[in-house]
Amino acid sequence: MPFARWLRKQGGKMASHSDKNVPIIPSNLQHRRRPQPLSRADASTLSRWYAEVDRGLLLMIVGLMAIGLLAVAVASPVGARVAARRGHAVGELYYLWRQIFWVCSGCIIIFVVGVRSKFDIRKWAVIGTVVGVLALFGVLLLGHEVNGSTRWIGSGLFRLQPSEFLKPLFAVSMGWLLACGSEDEKIPAMSLSFAVTLLISILLMSQPDFGQTVLICGTWLAMAFIAGLDLRKLGWLGGAAAAGMVATYFLYANARHRIDAFLFGTGDGGQVDRGMDTLANSGLIGSGPFTGTAKFRLPEAHTDYIYSVIGEEFGLFACAGILLLYVALVVRVLRRLREEQDQFVILAGSGLVLQFAGQMLINIAVNLHLLPSKGMTLPFISYGGSSLWALCLSMGMLLALTRRNPYRARPQEIAGWWGK
């Protein structure tokens, strides 16, 4: 007799014997029995995830999304006017309605990714990195050019920027590779991760996308340092990165044009000045929602220069509050990672949050006239579908990795080097 059938049969016998000692409740009183509370094991996936997830981090993400919707609302008329000049007539709140769709779908991404175990996150990241690298090759062949750069596949509503999704997947997969090298010195993890980073950087500069290249290389350098890269080698790599930046000026006309505009005010250099002027003239409390006028002189008010729009309409206090919220998010994640023992979680989580912080700093520095224009969005606040979905993917993975019990997985997932 199969064991499962025998076990069910024995369970039936035990229940029949024990029924003699159970008092019979009259049928008219059975509906008054107090319902038993659900145990933790019987809880739904959503409630179990909410009990384990970092709710403070989740609240900060939702707060940034709410601020982003308000910011896109006040900047949407500017985007509509720019679109009209380009021959695309849209309503004044067109970008707001689209952003609402991106935010709602992004929340689903955060939950779907956030409920997964760290083993699932690891596998998805490695597979996604391979797919992302292939997509970068596809951009070179089928890419859609915008403002002198070929970074998108498709056009219109279905335009996708693969490099945005590759960033968080790269951070997690390199975290896994470097963690494997820490556990097994026979694995050339540092060399392999450097080769992957170099390949991705070459593909990004072929678009060209200097901002994303800086983020990718900076993320790898930070993770390699955390993984124990020798300081001398780190110095050589830093010098090579600086030399690469200088070479970019001479090899790429687009980069040279933007740097000259930033340093000497030639070409479109006025757009950076206009962003800084918008912030400088905003005052402490701003002019009020939908009352700003300087925002109509900004080139990309709803994306690259949305921080300046916030400053004009809500004041420097609002800008400082947003900056403090970003800092609080980064500090909270780093403090939570200090409590981790798993090298993979530490490396992957550090890569994700430092990548997030780097994107935020680059965008704000451009608005403050500290860097030339990069075409990089402000996380969760700027308008953009690919950028917002990629950020939701990043934060979903970060929430999954920093859960108090992220090891829920099937036994077969834990066995072997892949799940080690």
- The top-scoring range by mean pLDDT among 110-119, 205-214, 242-251, 266-275 is 110-119
* Integer-rounded Cα radius of gyration of the chain: 26
Structure confidence by residue, pLDDT tens digits, 184-205: 778 888 999 999 999 999 998 8
CA distance 205 to 219: 16
Average pLDDT along the chain: 79
Structure tokens at 311: 């400053």
> Given its phi and psi angles, is residue 319 left (phi above 0), alpha (psi -120 to 50 degrees) or beta?
alpha
114 assigned to some structural domain: yes
* 236 contacts 278 by C-beta, under 8 angstroms: no
* Region 251-257 average pLDDT: 70
Measured over the CA atoms of residue 391, residue 397, residue 398 and residue 404, the dihedral's sign is: positive
- For residue 173, is it within any domain? yes
Q: Say if residue 30's pLDDT is above 60.
A: no
End-to-end CA, the chain: 37
Preceding omega of 208 cis (within 30 degrees of 0): yes
pLDDT 10s digits, 359-418: 999 999 888 888 877 778 899 999 988 889 999 999 999 999 998 764 444 444 444 444
- Any domain includes 356: yes
Strand partners of residue 149: 146
Across 54-58, 324-328, 365-369, 413-417, least confident range:
413-417
Q: What is the pTM of this model?
A: 0.80
Q: Looking at residue 288, what is its pLDDT?
A: 77
Percentage of the chain exceeding pLDDT 90: 35
E strand or H helix at 149, and its extent?
A: strand 149-153
Please spell the DSSP secondary structure of 354-385, one letter per residue. HHHHHHHHHHHHHHTTSS-----PPTTTS--H
User: What burial class does residue 4 get, using C-beta atoms within 10 Å of its C-beta: 0-12 exposed, 13-18 middle, 19+ buried?
Assistant: exposed
Residue 409 resides in a domain: no
294 domain residue, yes or no: yes
- Percent of the chain beyond pLDDT 70? 77
Question: How many domains does the structure of the chain reveal?
Answer: 1
Q: Is 239 within the bounds of a domain? A: yes
Give the per-residue pLDDT at 148.
Answer: 64
Contact 102/384 with Cβ under 8 angstroms?
A: yes
- Assigned domain for 164 exists: yes
CB 160 within 8 A of CB 386: yes
Judge whether 91 lies within some domain. yes
* Both structure tokens of 224: 């390699």
Strands (DSSP E) found in 203-243: none
> How high is the pLDDT of residue 90?
78
Q: Which domain holds residue 284?
A: 54-398
